[in-house]
Structures are given as structure tokens and as C-alpha cells.
């Protein structure tokens, strides 16, 4: 009996369809259709792979990626979809997988509605035409959406899922912002304090000491839509939040949008746009800050900006993090000497212990470690026995391999459970409705494990690349021996990042952990 993998995908455009006859409007309908077809063909269902709320151009769909990995190891014989576009809308992937790798792997691809079947060589051209039409659909849809959004931005409508702190989205008029009185009061206070001479970190500390939640936490408490910045958590105000607020013209009542633009319709990645390409429309909503206060704040910001000269970038700029809280340490200067400190220590009394180190001392520590490694490299046999770089790549690999094995064992348990569910359905022990319900519960639990497994796979690939390049470490380190001083170029080449802790009483130096690029 042939084993079939069923692949379903539900994207956002399907949710907008209201026709009751449209099977694609529901993942359950897709699963039911594919199950019925597989049973009619006498195929054993290996697994149902299901991506919910993903477009056909998204190559990073978690279930899609797992489907490809399982296909490569021939865990099944057939991939069954409702339509070819459910698998992908990109012609490139049609050629790569459906016409290229699947035949090599011994995988048959079948889609029900558009009669695509790689076992039938006569319909290859129709599959290619389907792929081309789907590709055109993606590009046209992207252009249409971009055109509509640009038009609405030019008319002053707010385009976005989240309103800026200080405002809320008007429930009665789409694309309009209304003032949130409670948050707006905090915005006015921040502008006023800065105009009176307070610094950005000092303002953050005041707000934290009074227990005023930062914008993300405020929205969470109020049940408003919000999105936390990647990798950032916590409820405290910090320097960047104050800095961004003081330069945002939306608080003047002007709508400024289009600061970022997508690289391509095939990716969700965005890149900053030049300021002249921003879409700015004045007087679109009620202002929180009046023009006079705005002008005074902008004047003070300009006065505080230090002139940039070539080579003025700090030696360890954006390379040093606090060992306690992970926050990037900021540069300060006192009596002609430069220091790095964790600014979290200043935003709240209990935010962080406050890591601190002088740039001169950190430079000395890095050079000493480089010289130590260089000495080890002089004796290759000794190196093999003693080289123990922080966060050893080989140790990381072993931990990741063990983690991967644990996840794979858990996933195998879920797969067994799904197969048993399917057999119960075939025997009539379970109804189709119960089967779908139970299998969805399994799939939800399994999806998290699969995501973790994919992350482990990516980390392992990165480590393998770095381990393979390990033979070049000797040359890299020898190139930088007997140094007296570092340059910014050296830091960029040698160092990924540095963790600095708080110096303990009686110790001459703070704890330092260097993560090298080699």
C-alpha cells in the first residue's frame, strides 16, 4: 500500500471568502477532501501536514519545511494536495521540487482539483503553466495591495495593525487615530521634562520609579493590540523608547508612514527607505504635542548631538552586552576616559546590578586572551588538548544533538499516535469528525516541537560551518599576535560579542566572556 502525505494550507486571503461552497475556506474541509480521496485510491495516510495562515510564497512554512525533509528521507511515497498552489505559488519551487527533486527521491506529487500528477508525464506543461499563473498571481496581488496601501497612506489614513502609544484606532472610522487620554498624558509629560532639561535616561527612571508601564506593557494591560520588539521583554521604560517618542511627528497630528518597504513580494523582510520617500500628510488627527513644545524639544536634541567625525565610532560599539540582563552596554566619558556601562542600572533601582568596565581595561583583557590563544597555537598538539574557547563550538554541537534527539523521540510518539488515530478511523472506531478533532490537537502540540527541531537544525548547520572553518583559526589568531592596541576593524573581524559582568569586591577585573568570530 502506498503511503501518502496530505498537505493543507490556509492563507489569509481564504479567510475573506464567504462562499459556503469554497472548500479552501477551511483547513478541515481540505483535510476531509484529501482523506476521502486517499481512501478511495487505497493509499495509507502517513501524516497530515497543515500550515494555517501562511501564503503560498512563504518558504518558511513550518509544516511545509517538515514535509520536504520527510520527503527527502522517503518516509512516504506520495504528496497529496487540493491544488498545486496549496503546495507553492512559486514557479521556481515547482521546478525545483515537483519536477526536480521529487522524482529523484521517488515521490509522486498529486493535486486533486487541477489534476496535477507527476506520474502522468503528459501534464507536465500544464503543471508548469499552473506554476506560472500562480507566480503572476503573487506578483499582481502584491502590486495591487501595495498600490491600495500607498493610496490610503497618501490620503492620510493610518495603515497598520497597531496604533502608536498615545493613540488608539478609531472603532467607528477605519484608518483614523483618536487620542488615548491616559497614554497621551504620559507623552506630554515626557516632552515637557525633556524641554525643561531632563535627560532621556533620567526621564525613563522617573517613569519607572512611579510605576508607569512602558508602551508595550500598557497596551497589554488595557487589552489593546501590541507587538513586543524582537528579543525585548519587560515592563520598564528605557532610553530608546524615550528617544523614539521625542522625534515622532505623529504626536504633532501629522501622519508619517512608509518608512520601511519590502525587499520583494517573495519575502516579508523590510528595509529602511530614504526620508524623501516617506509619505507625510499633515493634520490628519488630533495632536498631542503643540508646535511650540515640539520645536523646543527638537532644538535641544540638535544641541545635544555630537558632531560625527571619521573614526569616532566606539572601539566596542554594539559589541558588549551586560552579563546580567543582556542589554547592550552604552558608552560614557568621564574625565577624559571612556567607559561601558549597562544603562538598565539607571532606568530603575532593581532593573540590573549594573555591569561596568573601562574601554581601556576591556581592550587589555581582549588582547591578553588573544595572546593566550596565540601561545596555545604555537604547539598544535598542546592546542588539541587544551584549547577551550568560551562557549566551545563542539560542546554546543553535542548539546544541540542531544536536544535534537530528544525532540525527535517526542515527535515519533506523536506520529505513532496519529497513525493509531487513523487506523481507528478506518476501523470505524472513530468518526471523521472525531478524527479531525483529535488529529488537530496532536498537530498543535507537535507544531511546537517541529519548530524547535527546525531551530536546532539551523543552529547545527551554522555550527558545522564554523567548525569546518576551524582549521583557519590558527592563521586568524597568529595574524593578531603581540598587539598593543586594538582597532575597530580588528574588533569587527575577531569578535562576535562580549559579555561583561559586575566586578566583585576584591577582584581587579569584572567577569568577561568573549565570543569570537572564529
Interval 62-71: pLDDT, tens = 999 999 999 9
**pLDDT at 21 > cutoff 50:** no
- Structural contact between residues 91 and 131, judged by C-beta atoms closer than 8 angstroms: yes
User: What are the CA-CA distances from residue 338 to residues 169, 335, 342, 408 (Å)?
Assistant: 45, 9, 14, 49
Taking the CB of residue 358, how many other CB atoms lie within 10 A of it? 15
- Ordered by start, the domain boundaries in the chain are 3-151, 156-304
- CA dist 384 and 503 (Å) reads 32
Grid cell locating 142: 502584491
Helix/strand/coil (H, E, C) string of 334-357? ECCEEEEECCHHHHCCCCCCCCEE
pTM, entire model = 0.47
Percent of the chain with pLDDT over 70: 70
pLDDT at 249 over 70: yes
34 versus 324: the higher-pLDDT residue is 34
- Across the range 50-63, mean pLDDT stands at 80
Q: Which helix (H) or strand (E) holds 330?
A: strand 330-334
Confidence band (pLDDT; 50, 70, 90) for 88?
confident
**What does pLDDT average to over the chain?**
77
pLDDT of residue 182: 93
Same fold, 3-151 and 156-304: no
Better pLDDT: 458 or 279: 279
Phi, psi values for residue 37, rounded to 5°: -65, -45
Candidates 166, 161, 195, 158; CA nearest to 182 is: 166
The pLDDT tens digits for 314-355 are: 788 888 888 887 778 888 888 778 888 887 766 666 667 778
Predicted confidence (pLDDT) at residue 17 exceeds the cutoff of 50: no
Q: Does domain 3-151 have CATH number 3.40.50.1390?
A: yes
Max mean pLDDT among 307-316, 398-407, 418-427, 492-501 falls in 492-501
- What is the distance between the alpha carbons of residues 111 and 118, in angstroms, rounded to a whole number? 10
Looking at residue 330, its pLDDT comes to 83
Burial class (CB in 10 A: 0-12, 13-18, 19+), 61: buried
What pLDDT sits at residue 308?
Answer: 41
Whole-angstrom distance, CA of residue 477 vs CA of residue 471: 11
Calculate mean pLDDT across residues 441-453. Answer: 69
pLDDT of 436 strictly over 80: no
Q: Span 308-314, mean pLDDT? A: 51
Torsion, CA 462, CA 104, CA 122, CA 110, rounded to 10: -60
For 444-456, what is the mean pLDDT? Answer: 72
> Under CATH, which number does the domain 156-304 receive?
3.90.1750.20
CB 3 within 8 A of CB 73: no
Specify whether the CB–CB gap between 495 and 516 falls below 8 A: yes
Confidence category of residue 24, pLDDT binned at 50, 70, 90: very low
Residue 362 confidence (pLDDT) above 70? yes
Amino acid at each position: 500500500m502506498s503511503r501518502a502525505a496530505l498537505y493543507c494550507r490556509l492563507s489569509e486571503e481564504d479567510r475573506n471568502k464567504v462562499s459556503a461552497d469554497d472548500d479552501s475556506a477551511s483547513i478541515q474541509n481540505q483535510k476531509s477532501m484529501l482523506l476521502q480521496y486517499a481512501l478511495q485510491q487505497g493509499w495509507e495516510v502517513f501524516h497530515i501536514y497543515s500550515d494555517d495562515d501562511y501564503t503560498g510564497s512563504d518558504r518558511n512554512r513550518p509544516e511545509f519545511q517538515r514535509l520536504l525533509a520527510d520527503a527527502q528521507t522517503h518516509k512516504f511515497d506520495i504528496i497529496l494536495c487540493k491544488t498545486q498552489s496549496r503546495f507553492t505559488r512559486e514557479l521556481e519551487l515547482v521546478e525545483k521540487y515537483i519536477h526536480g527533486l521529487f522524482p529523484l527521491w521517488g515521490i509522486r506529487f498529486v493535486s486533486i482539483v487541477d489534476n496535477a500528477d507527476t506520474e502522468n508525464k503528459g501534464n507536465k506543461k500544464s503543471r508548469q503553466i499552473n506554476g506560472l499563473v500562480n507566480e503572476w498571481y503573487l506578483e499582481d496581488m502584491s502590486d495591487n495591495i501595495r498600490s491600495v496601501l500607498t493610496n490610503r497612506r497618501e490620503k492620510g489614513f493610518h495603515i497598520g495593525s497597531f496604533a502608536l502609544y498615545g493613540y488608539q484606532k478609531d472603532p467607528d472610522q477605519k484608518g483614523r487615530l483618536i487620542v488615548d487620554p491616559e497614554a497621551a498624558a504620559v507623552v506630554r509629560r515626557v516632552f515637557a521634562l525633556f524641554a525643561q532639561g531632563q535627560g532621556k535616561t533620567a526621564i525613563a527612571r522617573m517613569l519607572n520609579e512611579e510605576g508607569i508601564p512602558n508602551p508595550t506593557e500598557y497596551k497589554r494591560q488595557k487589552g489593546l493590540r501590541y507587538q513586543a520588539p524582537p528579543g525585548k521583554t519587560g515592563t520598564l521604560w528605557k532610553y530608546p523608547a524615550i528617544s523614539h517618542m521625542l522625534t515622532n511627528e505623529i504626536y504633532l497630528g501629522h501622519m508619517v508612514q512608509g518608512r520601511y518597504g519590502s525587499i520583494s513580494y517573495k519575502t516579508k523582510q523590510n528595509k529602511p527607505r530614504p526620508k524623501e520617500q516617506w509619505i507625510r500628510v499633515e493634520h490628519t488627527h488630533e495632536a498631542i504635542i503643540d508646535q511650540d513644545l515640539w520645536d523646543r524639544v527638537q532644538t535641544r536634541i540638535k544641541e545635544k548631538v555630537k558632531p560625527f567625525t571619521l573614526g569616532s565610532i566606539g572601539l566596542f560599539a554594539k559589541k558588549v552586552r551586560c552579563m546580567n540582563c543582556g542589554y547592550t552596554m552604552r558608552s560614557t566619558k568621564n574625565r577624559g576616559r571612556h567607559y561601558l556601562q549597562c544603562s538598565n542600572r539607571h532606568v530603575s533601582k532593581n532593573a540590573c546590578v549594573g555591569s561596568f568596565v573601562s574601554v581601556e581595561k576591556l581592550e587589555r583583557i581582549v588582547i591578553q586572551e588573544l595572546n593566550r590563544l596565540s601561545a596555545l597555537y604555537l604547539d598544535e598538539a598542546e592546542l588539541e588538548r587544551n584549547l577551550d574557547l568560551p562557549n566551545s563550538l563542539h560542546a554546543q554541537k553535542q548539546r544541540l544533538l542531544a536536544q535534537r534527539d530528544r525532540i525527535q523521540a517526542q515527535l515519533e510518539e506523536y506520529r505513532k499516535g496519529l497513525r493509531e488515530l487513523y487506523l481507528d478511523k478506518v476501523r470505524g472506531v472513530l468518526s471523521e469528525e472525531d478524527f479531525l478533532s483529535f488529529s488537530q490537537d496532536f498537530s498543535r502540540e507537535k507544531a511546537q516541537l517541529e519548530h524547535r527541531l527546525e531551530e536546532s537544525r539551523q543552529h547545527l548547520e551554522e555550527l558545522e560551518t564554523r567548525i569546518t572553518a576551524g582549521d583557519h583559526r590558527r592563521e586568524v589568531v597568529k595574524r593578531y599576535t603581540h598587539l598593543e592596541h586594538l582597532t575597530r576593524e580588528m574588533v569587527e573581524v575577531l569578535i562576535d560579542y562580549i559579555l561583561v559582568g559586575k566586578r566583585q569586591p576584591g577582584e581587579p577585573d569584572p567577569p568577561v566572556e568573549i565570543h569570537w568570530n572564529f
